[in-house]
């Protein structure tokens, strides 16, 4: 019970910061950031353990898929990044590293954008913390998606209707996580930095727009 209480307390604290972001102002920025990183760390470690358990429970399927991806990589059919994202155990650690890196970059770019807007109330630690508490809901969406991918029978890939339904179900979880992230991130910006809705939307979309732009350029 004490073990579950640790997770419950962490979730409730993150949710409290999310729906009542004005309480963030009562905490020193550095302390707030440390608290949010502690919550992220707890659930990230849990995801790693959960991923390992699910993978070992489906070891034959995981090994078979990893073997195919290794062959594709050796034959030059996929890039090194695709290899890292699809071959166990590298896919697990690549996902976690990418999640943390994306959070750091998004928070940093949002802070830079606030500086470009001339906002005087900006705080780097605080905006990183707001990024962390909002990204937490994307992290939560990884759990059901991982489970669905591993319990889905092979017949799903052979039936177009089942495959579309399966991918749509996973998409719903991921979309829900991203929508919560966007809404709560902008809510935090408005409460902590006094931004209006327009500026909050622009600050949230700036890292995303820059990422899409860089991807588009790299593909040309």
Cβ pair 140, 132 in contact under 8 A: no
DSSP line for 47-98: HHHHHHHHHHHTHHHHHHHHHHHHHHHHTTSS-HHHHHHHSTTHHHHHHHHH
Domain locations along the chain: 2-219
Which pLDDT score is estimated for 219?
56
Residue 101, helix vs strand vs coil: helix
Question: Given a cut of 60, is residue 75 above it in pLDDT?
Answer: yes
- DSSP secondary structure code for residue 104 in this structure: H
pTM, two decimal places? 0.86
Q: Tens digits of per-residue pLDDT, 89-141?
A: 888 888 889 899 989 999 999 999 988 887 777 789 999 999 999 999 999 99
- Specify the residue for token string 């092979």: 154
Burial of 220 (0-12, 13-18, 19+ CB in 10 A): exposed
DSSP line for 174-206: HHHHHHHHHHHHHHHHHHHH---HHHHHHHHHH
**Which uninterrupted H or E stretch holds 25?**
none
Which pLDDT score is estimated for 145?
86
**Which uninterrupted H or E stretch holds 125?**
helix 124-151
Which pLDDT score is estimated for 185?
95
Which pLDDT score is estimated for 153?
66
Q: Tens digits of per-residue pLDDT, 11-70?
A: 999 999 999 999 999 999 999 999 999 999 999 999 999 989 888 888 888 788 788 788
Question: Given a cut of 90, is residue 178 above it in pLDDT?
Answer: yes
């Amino acid at each position: 019970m004490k073990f579950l209480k640790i997770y419950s307390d962490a979730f409730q604290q993150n949710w409290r910061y999310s729906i009542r972001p004005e309480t963030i102002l009562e905490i020193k920025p550095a302390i707030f950031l440390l608290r949010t990183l502690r919550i992220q760390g707890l659930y990230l470690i849990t995801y790693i353990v959960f991923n390992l358990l699910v993978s070992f429970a489906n070891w034959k399927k995981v090994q078979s898929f990893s073997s195919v991806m290794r062959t594709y990589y050796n034959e030059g059919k996929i890039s090194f990044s695709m290899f890292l994202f699809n071959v166990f155990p590298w896919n697990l650690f690549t996902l976690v590293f990418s999640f943390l890196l994306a959070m750091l970059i998004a928070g940093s770019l949002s802070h830079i954008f606030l500086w470009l807007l001339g906002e005087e109330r900006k705080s780097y630690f605080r905006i990183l913390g707001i990024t962390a508490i909002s990204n937490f809901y994307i992290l939560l969406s990884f759990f059901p998606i991982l489970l669905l991918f591993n319990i889905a029978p092979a017949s799903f890939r052979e039936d177009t209707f089942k495959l579309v339904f399966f991918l749509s179900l996973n998409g719903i979880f991921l979309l829900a996580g991203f929508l919560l992230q966007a809404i709560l991130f902008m809510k935090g910006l408005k409460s902590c930095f006094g931004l209006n809705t327009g500026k909050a939307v622009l600050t949230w979309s700036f890292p995303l727009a820059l990422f899409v732009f860089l991807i588009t350029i790299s593909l040309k």
